[in-house]
Amino acid sequence: MGRRVEIFDTTLRDGEQSPGISLNPQEKLEIAKQLARLGVDVIEAGFPVASPGDFAAVETIAREVHGPVITALARCVPNDIEQAGTALKPAVRRRIHVFIATSPIHMEYKLRKKPDEVLAAAVTSVQLARQYADEVEFSAEDATRSDPDFLARVFGAVVEAGATVLNVPDTVGYILPEEFRQLLGYLREHVPGIDRVKLSVHCHNDLGLAVANSLVAVAAGVDQIECTINGLGERAGNAALEEVVMALRTRADVFGVETGIVTQEIYRTSRLVSALTGVSVQPNKAIVGENAFAHEAGIHQDGVLKARATYEIMTPESIGLKQSRLVLGKHSGRHAFRQRLQEMGYTLDDAQLQQAYERFIQLADRKKTVSEAELVALVSGLGGQLEVPEEYRLVRLLVTSGTPGFATATVSLQHAGVISTEAAVADGPVEACYQAIDRITGGHVELDSYQLQAVTGGKDAAGEVVVRLKENGQTFLGRGLSTDVIEASVQAYLHAFNKLVAARAMGAAHSGAQTQNEVAQAE
């Protein structure tokens, strides 16, 4: 057996810091459970001090997700560490992740601290964190632009203070692979006690080098790689988990290491994260993109038919992508539906199954067959969706549009047992629908973004719409799936709006919760 490299997933923390992403605790829990099935070693569940929602998500994941170590982020500030420690309390295996910047530019302009003050804060924070957790990870933010000598001094001091993992973040995605290899070698030689702890890296993708740098780090002997599903994360994102893992597996001849990842769960995890975050995966994305296993050129197709290995360095099955295209139709029945979902690895409770089946029947009514990709789109995020009460429900929709001319929409919604109908005229049919809905619900809501994509090829493909609504700095994501893209647009809008209504009811939208931006400003 080869050396084991641990996979630390930060989709729910760094990934959630991607612009426009905002997951509620239920959605985070659903992703965390899938990450556990994927076999990650560590789940970074959030940054508890950032908002009550983040605290609740970390606490829920700590209580309900077993297997991986659950970790939470904290600045080198006592209240951050106490909050992280409290949120993580229910976890069977917990780790507090403290960080402070060590580069000259961050220390001078962001922290306004002298190097010795930074070192002292790092040491006392690690000591405090150890009172809450046996595992404490210390990250030197912007490590790759730090003075290596100072970095080694800080790392040595925190090992002495009780840190069990040292993380070397390439926070701004600046370092080149060869430089990274040298830096890691330098740290191995100059950090006292480094052999007693785990060494980790956390690479950002600003120059498109996050995966390359993570792989160089593996070759240099690190114990842990930090990454995210679909490469989500601040700015250009983090190293993509699926790319790191499949590179290690496909080129095991070079790396000779193992991970605990069940690679057959990769596709499903990617799809779930994409569905719940609303960030679609680019078609040519390595490993999980729509085209990653598609062979277009005749010569390639011919080669693959003769021997797959001519143009395939890994199989679609190895990431859990089955090639079967036509799976179910409207006569398939509930039993076949449940069985097919089970084969695909989904175990839904009765309420979820009922909801998924109703959506399946609606889709199957309009199409001859429902493909596997459409099934995945149907059930992804069901846990999160079930949590949203359907305050407003679509009853009827009538749309006319043409060229040249305006579009008109008449929408009937049921709310509190009463059906209301409104009509609106606009430049396009989606806008007309949204205006009619706003009239019924009694106010204009800010539409932050709207995305439409076909789930599969073909003229009868289902369209998936992802909508983000914004209120008081909070974002609410909604999804809709239908062969009628206008209907999918309305479903998505209502799904997001119902979340917004639920947040209003809980007072969350108006609670003055500390947002991540406010935390950043307070630094």
| Separation between Cα atoms, residue 485 and residue 11, nearest integer Å | 30
Smaller CB separation from Zn ion, 9 or 14: 14
**79: helix, coil or strand?**
helix
Interface residue with ligand KIV among 5, 8, 12, 14 (CB under 6 A) is: 14
- In angstroms, rounded to a whole number, what is the distance separating the alpha carbons of residues 392 and 484? 20
As measured in angstroms, the least distance from the Cβ of 204 to Zn ion is 6
Q: Which of 14/135 has CB closer to Zn ion?
A: 14
Binding mask 76-105 for ligand KIV (x = CB under 6 A): -----------------------x------
Nearer to ligand KIV (CB atom), residue 109 or residue 189? 109
The distance of closest approach from Cβ of residue 204 to ligand KIV in the complex, given in angstroms and rounded to an integer, is: 6
**Which among 9-17, 44-52, 211-219, 269-277 is the span making contact with Zn ion, rule CB under 5 A?**
9-17
Q: Are 151 and 133 in contact (CB under 8 A)?
A: no
Cα-based distances in Å from 244 to 315, 319, 423? 16, 13, 51
Minimum distance from residue 192 beta carbon to ligand KIV (Å): 22
CB 170 within 8 A of CB 141: no
Q: How far is the CB of 446 from ligand KIV (least distance, A)?
A: 29
Name residues contacting ligand KIV, limited to 128-157 (CB under 6 A): 139, 141
Q: For Zn ion, how many residues bind (rule: CB under 5 A)?
A: 1
Q: Are 327 and 342 in contact (CB under 8 A)?
A: no
Candidate ranges 8-16, 145-153, 288-296, 317-325; the one touching Zn ion (CB under 5 A): 8-16
Which residue from 14, 16, 135, 372 is in contact with Zn ion, where contact means CB under 5 A? 14
Residue 14 or 438 having the CB closest to Zn ion: 14
List the beta strands (DSSP E) in 105-223. 135-141, 165-170, 198-203
How far is the C-alpha of 48 from the C-alpha of 85, rounded, in Å?
9
Q: How many residues bind ligand KIV (CB under 6 A)?
A: 10
Closest approach of Cβ 234 to ligand KIV, in Å? 6
Closer Cβ to ligand KIV, 80 or 141, answer by number: 141
Angle, vertex CA 466, rays to CA 511 and CA 410, nearest 5: 95
The tokens of 401 are what? Answer: 């549009």
Q: Which member of 25, 48, 162, 169 binds ligand KIV (CB under 6 A)?
A: 169
Q: Of these partners, Zn ion, ligand KIV, none, which one is at the site of residue 205 (CB under 5 to 8 Å by kind)? A: none
Q: Could you tell me if 245 and 259 are in contact, meaning their C-beta atoms sit under 8 angstroms apart?
A: yes
Instruction: Find which of Zn ion, ligand KIV, none residue 99 binds, CB within 5 to 8 Å per kind.
Output: ligand KIV
- CA 168 to chain centroid: 22
Cβ closer to ligand KIV: 78 or 405? 78
Residue located via tokens 């989709």: 11
- The residue range among 12-20, 87-95, 136-144, 214-222 that interacts with Zn ion, by the rule CB under 5 A, is 12-20
Segment lying near Zn ion (by CB under 5 A), choices 13-21, 131-139, 325-333, 357-365: 13-21
The set of residues, in sequence order, having a beta carbon less than 8 Å from that of 56 and lying 6+ positions away, is 25
* Least CB distance to ligand KIV at residue 3 (A): 23
Output DSSP code: residue 310: G
Looking only at residues 186 through 245 of this chain, which bind ligand KIV when binding is defined by CB under 6 A? 202, 204
515: exposed, middle or buried (C-beta count within 10 Å: 0-12, 13-18, 19+)? middle
Distance CA 238, CA 423 (A): 45
141 contact choice in Zn ion, ligand KIV, none (CB below 5 to 8 Å, kind-dependent): ligand KIV
In the numeric block, which tokens belong to residue 185?
């070698």
Query: Among Zn ion, ligand KIV, none, what does residue 495 contact (CB within 5–8 Å per kind)?
Result: none
Whole-number Cα distances in Å, 72 to 39, 94, 270, 415: 18, 8, 22, 39
Q: Compute the least distance from the CB of residue 64 to ligand KIV, in Å.
A: 24
Residue 55 interacts, among ligand KIV, Zn ion, none and using kind-specific CB cut-offs from 5 to 8 Å, with none
Say which residues have a Cβ less than 8 Å from residue 48's Cβ, sequence separation at least 6. Answer: 54, 55, 58, 59, 72, 73, 74, 80, 83, 84, 86, 87
Residue 102's binding partner out of ligand KIV, Zn ion, none, with CB under 5 to 8 Å set by partner kind: none
* Residue least distant from Zn ion (Cβ): 14
Nearest to Zn ion of 14, 431 (CB atom)? 14
Q: Amino acid identity of 181? A: R
Nearer to ligand KIV among residue 49 and residue 382 (C-beta): 49
Of 94 and 145, nearer to ligand KIV (C-beta) is 145
- Least separation in angstroms between residue 337's CB and ligand KIV is 41
- The C-alpha angle with vertex 475 and arms to 464 and 395, in degrees rounded to 5, equals 50
Is the omega angle on the peptide bond into residue 404 within 30 degrees of 0, that is, cis?
Answer: yes
Contact present, 171 and 201 (Cβ < 8 Å): no
Give residue for tokens 């119902």: 498
Q: In terms of CB distance, is 20 or 192 closer to Zn ion?
A: 20
Binding site for ligand KIV (CB under 6 A): 14, 73, 99, 139, 141, 167, 169, 171, 202, 204
Contact residues for Zn ion, defined by CB under 5 A: 14
